[in-house]
Amino acid sequence: MIRLERISKAFGQRTILDELTIEFAEGRVTAVVGSSGAGKSTLLRSIDFLERPDRGTVTIGDLTVDAARADRAQILQLRRRTAMVFQQFHLFSRKTAQENVAEGLRVVRGLGRRDAEREALVQLDRVGLSSHAGHYPAQLSGGQQQRVGIARALAMRPQALLLDEPTSALDPELVGEVLATVRGIAEQGQTMVIVSHEMNFVRQVAERIVFLEHGRVVEDAPPEEFFGVGVQDRTRAFLREYHLARGTPDYQI
Amino acid sequence: MNLIDFGAIGDYTVALLPYIPLTLALSVAATALGTVIGLALALVKLARVPVLSQITAVLVSYLRGTPILVQLLLNVNAVPIAILYLNHAFGTAYDALALSPFLVATLTFAMNEAAYSSESIRAALLSVDRREIEAAHALGMTGWQTLRRVTIPSAAVVAFPTLVNNFIGMLKQSSLAFVVSVVEVTAYAKIIGARDYRFFEAYLATAIIYWALTVIVEQIARVVERRMQRPRPAGRASRRTAREVPPHVSAAIAEEVRFS
């Protein structure tokens, strides 16, 4: 279980998160949606303190960290209980796919070289890339790079997998393979928080959708409700904008 | 008229060969130590460590602002004084004159190397892709682990050509060590030149040796550099868009312009 309580974050004069309280249940997939600048990524990055909140507490399992008093050891603990998948993959460019996955296993989880390599292959296999273990990131397509990113995150056996717009940097024809990978992992009961612009994907994979605006939760509903008629005006306006911008033909409200 | 003794050039070259290991040892030790200290200086500056960063700034300014020859002469005289002073202060009885000239030369050259390389090392550290560092943090690596596993290895590839240049500079600069009576290649050339009054031939042989050494080092460096670049095969289609040109490329170019 992940719980953020009264999390606030500002960049200069701009308030991004405003006393946000939210909980993510174990074994569930939650999607966070909203327009650019709504605070989605900041919310996600607050969970492992890649972006340190100004105020509030983050709880993962039995560990509660207060942003005002967090020390280095606590932040490391948060990061070791979670794993992040980045929009731009953030792979280690001078390491092969297998070395990318093995790195955290060796350095953070303390596995020996052989064990780490073996485990890395297992994780690469989960994302269908064990045949590309020796490839460097530059030799992989964007979709493959992102799958390596997912394998690297999964290898840490995180209590929660955090995905920050995992498909936004991909060419349209490469989105499908990443979505299929994420869906497969979701079915294995991995707790996930996904920030995404991909409504189609969110609809298929998420059990709960949170709509964020100006750092506050506007809507919090399962997908069938979220994309139904019973939602608030602002949510509907957001979805209308979204579909207008993408010219989705079959969308009507 | 026998102005130039061509046979002697060959003889002298052979006679100087046994002194190459010492020249190499001096250069390798000074460059290696200097690079490590340079890395430390760069980290102190990057981390803006209070007090320490000001002290190192003054030190670097001094090292860059005085001739290396003067530093050698100064240090070789300063060390005995320092030892005598320590003996006086702590009642110890170290021999003030037993200090090896090789050590003085190595440390002097190393400090110089550190002063000059710290800026290029700093630039190389800054050129490392922020996203890789963030990925390491997200995995739960400590600051030191990130530095050791991600930042420094990537920066090393960027800094390598500059460090090789520095090493070549050091090979040549090591010839100054004769002033503190280290008998390396140049010092021995002086000795045999004086013995036969064939200074020209002796120094020509010396020049040939240094030239050969630097050419060999350059060739080795080229091979190593090519190996280091292997992870980014040239010409192979990658999905990187123009926006994502690795930031270290531009930094490396800026570096090249500044330090060549």
Print burial letters for B194-209: b (CB count within 10 Å at least 16), e (below 16): eeeebeebbbbbbeeb
Say what the pTM is. 0.81
ipTM entry: 0.91
The whole-number pLDDT of residue B245 equals 44
The whole-number pLDDT of residue A163 equals 96
Q: Closest to A92 (Cβ–Cβ): which among B132, B137, B142?
A: B132
In angstroms, the CA B76 to CA A232 distance is 82
Instruction: Classify B230 as helix, strand or coil.
Output: coil
- The Cα of A88 is separated from the nearest Cα of chain B by a number of Å equal to 8
Q: Other C-beta atoms within 10 Å of B39: how many? A: 22
Identify the residue whose tokens are 């020209």: B200
The whole-number pLDDT of residue A201 equals 85
Integer-rounded Cα Rg, in Å, for chain A is: 18
Which residues of chain B from 156 to 175 reach within 8 Å of chain A, CB to CB?
Answer: 157
Strand-by-strand arrangement of the A55-60 sheet:
A14-24, A2-11, A55-60, A63-66
**What six digits make up the tokens of B174?**
């090591």
Q: How far apart, in Å, are the Cα atoms of B204 and each of B174, B194, B198, B209, B217?
A: 17, 14, 10, 9, 20
Q: How far apart, in Å, are the Cα atoms of B41 and each of A89, B55, B56, B173?
A: 32, 10, 7, 22
Q: Closest to A50 (Cβ–Cβ): which among B132, B138, B149?
A: B138
- The Cα of A249 is separated from the nearest Cα of chain B by a number of Å equal to 30
- The Cα of A142 is separated from the nearest Cα of chain B by a number of Å equal to 6
The whole-number pLDDT of residue B167 equals 96
The whole-number pLDDT of residue A72 equals 93
The whole-number pLDDT of residue B97 equals 78
**What six digits make up the tokens of A123?**
């994780």
- The Cα of B137 is separated from the nearest Cα of chain A by a number of Å equal to 8
In angstroms, the CA B230 to CA B225 distance is 9
> In chain A, which residues have their Cβ closer than 8 Å to the Cβ of B153?
94
CB contact under 8 A, B134 and A72: no
Integer-rounded Cα Rg, in Å, for chain B is: 23
Find the residue in A nearest to B142 (Cα): A76
Kind plus residue range of the DSSP H or E element containing A21: strand A14-24
Instruction: Classify A196 as helix, strand or coil.
Output: coil
Q: Other C-beta atoms within 10 Å of B234: how many? A: 6
In angstroms, the CA B211 to CA A226 distance is 75
10-residue mean pLDDT series, chain A (253 residues): 93 91 93 89 94 95 93 94 96 95 96 95 94 94 95 95 92 89 92 90 90 90 85 82 70 49
> In chain A, which residues have their Cβ closer than 8 Å to the Cβ of B131?
86, 88, 90
- The Cα of B27 is separated from the nearest Cα of chain A by a number of Å equal to 30
pLDDT digits (tens, 9 = 90+) for A31-81: 999 988 888 999 999 999 999 999 999 999 999 999 989 999 999 999 999
Q: Other C-beta atoms within 10 Å of A199: how many? A: 21
> In chain B, which residues have their Cβ closer than 8 Å to the Cβ of A46?
none
> In chain A, which residues have their Cβ closer than 8 Å to the Cβ of B160?
none
In angstroms, the CA A70 to CA A65 distance is 6
Find the residue in B nearest to A86 (Cα): B135
Q: How far apart, in Å, are the Cα atoms of A188 and each of A134, A154, A240?
A: 27, 12, 33
What does each of the 260 residues of chain B score in pLDDT, given as a tens digit?
678 888 889 999 999 999 999 999 999 999 999 999 999 999 999 988 899 999 999 999 999 999 999 999 999 999 888 888 988 899 888 887 778 899 999 999 999 999 999 999 999 999 999 999 999 999 999 999 999 999 999 999 999 999 999 999 999 999 999 999 899 999 999 999 999 899 999 999 999 999 999 999 999 999 998 888 765 544 444 444 434 445 555 555 555 555 54
- The Cα of B9 is separated from the nearest Cα of chain A by a number of Å equal to 48
- CA terminus-to-terminus distance, chain B: 44
CB contact under 8 A, B139 and A72: no
CB contact under 8 A, A48 and B138: yes
A-B CB pairs within 8 A amount to: 80
Q: Closest to A92 (Cβ–Cβ): which among B135, B233, B244?
A: B135
Print burial letters for B128-146: b (CB count within 10 Å at least 16), e (below 16): bbebbbbbbbbbbbbeebb
Q: How far apart, in Å, are the Cα atoms of A190 and each of A1, A84, A144, A206?
A: 12, 13, 21, 12
**What six digits make up the tokens of A134?**
């020796």
CB contact under 8 A, B131 and A86: yes
In angstroms, the CA B159 to CA A97 distance is 25
Identify the CA nearest to B58 among candidates B77, B34, B41. Answer: B41
